[in-house]
A and B are shown apart, each in its own frame.
Chain A
Amino acid sequence: MRRMIFKSLVHGPLTEAAPAADAAALAELAAQVNAAARRRLGRTLSIREVDAGSCNGCELEIHALNNVLYDLERFGMRFVASPRHADVLLVTGPVTINMREALERTYQATPHPKWVVAVGDCGRDGGVFAGSYACVGGVSAVLPVDLHIAGCPPAPLALLKGLLALLENAERGAGAAV
């Protein structure tokens, strides 16, 4: 272990500064989120993720935001365990009927001001599950949604861009779509 720690010290962080367009976008996001987030919420944005019937694909990509390459926390955003600590609910899935009540209660447990981000094609309108007897079909059918991030699942970078768009649009109080 000591060898690995030593290596990390010598080589510096693995977090990407790659020359690809992705990295450029990340760097840009880093600056913008910091400015916008500070204006609205101080330095941080606390996110509570709620799976409202996802296939788990969206969760996998949301998880990836935490890996060393994307390192969400450097933008001042982090995932919290309780809705009571959250500014943002990040909701995935077509909202199954069996999860509807839990989702509503989670929303009620989140203090104001709060934003809801619907993630994935399922979160937008139910995706491939639209029309099922077991799904409400889209987060906006249950909660006021501030932003939709499309994709099946949206890649980590799309998620990052979406969270930034939320911050900018929260200023104007309007919904947005990316």
Chain B
Amino acid sequence: MKTLRELIDEGQTIAAHRPWPRALVGEEAWLQAIGLLQEQTCTLLGLWGDNATVHLALLDEARKEPALLSYECEDDSYPSVGRLHAPAIRLERALRDLSGLDPEGLPDTRAWLDHGKWPVLRPLGKTERVAATRKRKPYPLLSAEGESLHQIPVGPVHAGIIEPGHFRFTASGETVVRLEERLGYVHKGTESLLAGQAPERAAMLAGRVSGDSTVAYALAFARALEAALGAEVPARAVWLRALMAELERLANHFGDIGAICNDAAFAMLHAHCGLLREQVLRAAAACFGHRLMMDCIVPGGVRADLPGDARRRLADLVAQVRKYFPELIELYDNTASLQDRTVGTGVLSAKLARQFGCGGYVGRASGRAFDARRMPGYAPYDRLQFELPLREEGDVDARVWIRIREVEQSLALVEQILLALPDGPVARPLPAANAAEGVALIEGFRGDILAWVRTGADGRIARCHLRDPSWFQWPVLEAAIEGNIVADFPLCNKSFNCSYSGHDL
């Protein structure tokens, strides 16, 4: 079997694509690429439509080579990837809804993001306006048969302050025998809105794909665009971006560690972690002017430099967390009633984590040592020291521990960044507009975010695709919950904390 590199070399290389190679390939090479996914030589990074072309982003992990293969559809169809590689199924269903390109042979013919209510069909492809009153077919959920099984429908409006989605549990007594997710409720048409925008406006949209990862998304978009245009970003901006990214990671980890414990009815840790989260957000507001640091990363650099007292403020934050957090870890570790809930609950097997290329703490808690900061890697992380926490158990507890260890790593990173932060300008104007393509893979707190941008000769965004890490985490949550009791679902769900908005886009 050919390697990804060989497939690229034999294809028709697109010179305007940076920094990874992209090649247009025929059916044979396309099928071979699917084979690489199937035998897990390559990991799926993304799959999306662009007019009549389907792009497949892959990572050859052993050779550390990411690349894109593109297939030009005739008759609006292409050989399905999901037919042989399950992680692609939902991507292809979404692709069909949005671009109207048909994955030939895909076993699941149900729509995914299109709930039959939009006033248009194929919003990203050959768009057609339709009557809003058209008759809708009911969505057939998968069946589960057996003696004394019952179903529990949950959502889209959930009991807590969380995003909407529908979960259908089939249970035998208290035990979940099947969970099926139905998503798409928060689909906002972001990719359609992105098309035709100037870079600044597009960056704002990218920063609102998933509010908890606004920094990571803005960074992914900016890097993809900068790669396309060959833009140079000032060194200080590169480091400030990393500083924001680590603060965002800290804030989310604190919030989620607390929330997981809260779902196990241990409110005390929730209260303490909530306090830490708030302190990070206040420091972020003081240093960058926005609590979530929304719109602080712009194409070409960052919006503003740090105010004068930022270093002290952040050093204080790190010192405070260092003093306070170990006690919380000890409490988590030594509370038997809490451990009783988290240990052995919601186990995700290493096999599934590898097959789906699960990013972030979900993957790393199930033995998948992947972090986009390391591979493909990006500045300034090549000059920073940090470890990649790894666990094998794959349960709720392991995911909590990965988060705890990552907090420690992020604290160390913030310190290193403050020490090494170079002087100079924080933004530079983008180079002259041209038709080009760029891609970036960024490690958000939840996992790797893929951004792909194609610009037009007018400098506007012709097409932008943003792939949330949740695409490869939501499906495996269905597997992880199997055999657990229904009452443990909130706990499992929170330990994954997949994004609805990032997924539904």
Contact = CB atoms under 8 A, between A and B. Distances in A.
Interface string A8-22: 000000100000000
A102 interface: yes
A57 B163 contact: no
Interface in A88-133: 93-94, 96-102, 106, 127-129, 131-133
A169 interface: no
B255 interface: yes
Given A54-B501, A132-B192, A155-B291, A60 B185 contact: no
Given A131-B193, A134-B123, A53 B291 contact: no
Contacts of A132: 188-190, 192-193
Nearest to A59: B161
Contact of B211 (A5, A55, A96): A55
Contacts of B212: 56-57, 60
A96 B163 CA distance: 12
Given A50-B157, A59-B211, A98 B331 contact: no
A108 B285 CA distance: 38
Given A56-B163, A128-B205, A133-B120, A4 B274 contact: no
Interface in B184-200: 184-190, 192-193
A69 B162 CA distance: 21
B146 interface: no
Contacts of A147: none
Given A49-B161, A54-B501, A99 B185 contact: yes
Where chain A touches its partner, the secondary structure class is: mixed
Contact of B164 (A4, A61, A79, A99): A99
A153 interface: yes
A62 B161 contact: yes
A69 B204 CA distance: 30
In the complex, which of the residues A5, A133, A135, A153 has the most CB atoms of chain B within 10 Å of its own CB atom?
A133
B119 A133 contact: yes
Given A128-B193, A133-B120, A54 B186 contact: yes
Nearest to B327: A4
A135 B205 CA distance: 14
Interface in B179-223: 184-190, 192-193, 204-205, 208-212, 214
B189 A4 contact: no
A81 interface: yes
Contacts of B163: 51, 54, 56, 59
Contacts of B275: 14, 67-69
A4 B186 CA distance: 41
A174 interface: no
Interface residues of A, number: 50
A83 B160 CA distance: 11
B278 A97 contact: no
A98 B210 contact: no
Contact of B281 (A3, A64, A135): A64
B118 interface: yes
Contacts of B285: 155
Given A60-B212, A68-B274, A51 B164 contact: yes
Interface string B242-286: 000000000000010000000000001001101101100100010
B193 A97 contact: no
Nearest to A121: B208
A50 B156 CA distance: 10
A59 B208 CA distance: 13
Contacts of B119: 97, 133
Nearest to A14: B275
Interface in A72-89: 79, 81-83
Contacts of B204: 128
B193 A98 contact: no
B335 interface: yes
Contacts of B292: 57, 60, 153
A1 interface: yes
Contact of B184 (A67, A93, A98): A98
Nearest to A47: B161
Interface in B71-101: none
A57 B500 CA distance: 12
Contacts of A58: 211
A56 B188 contact: no
B115 interface: yes
A174 to B, nearest CB: 28
A66 interface: yes
A66 to B, nearest CB: 7
A128 B206 CA distance: 10
A99 to B, nearest CB: 5
Contacts of B186: 51, 53-54, 93, 96, 98-99
A23 interface: no
A139 B118 CA distance: 17
A57 B208 contact: yes
In the complex, which of the residues B119, B214, B501 has the most CB atoms of chain A within 10 Å of its own CB atom?
B501
A79 B278 contact: no
5 contacts: A57-B208, A102-B164, A129-B188, A134-B188, A155-B285
Interface of A: 1, 3-5, 14, 49-64, 66-69, 79, 81-83, 93-94, 96-102, 106, 127-129, 131-135, 152-153, 155
5 closest residue pairs by CB, A with B: A57-B211, A134-B189, A67-B274, A81-B159, A132-B189
Given A54-B501, A60-B212, A98-B186, 8 more contacts: A53-B188, A53-B501, A59-B161, A60-B255, A63-B255, A96-B187, A97-B117, A153-B211
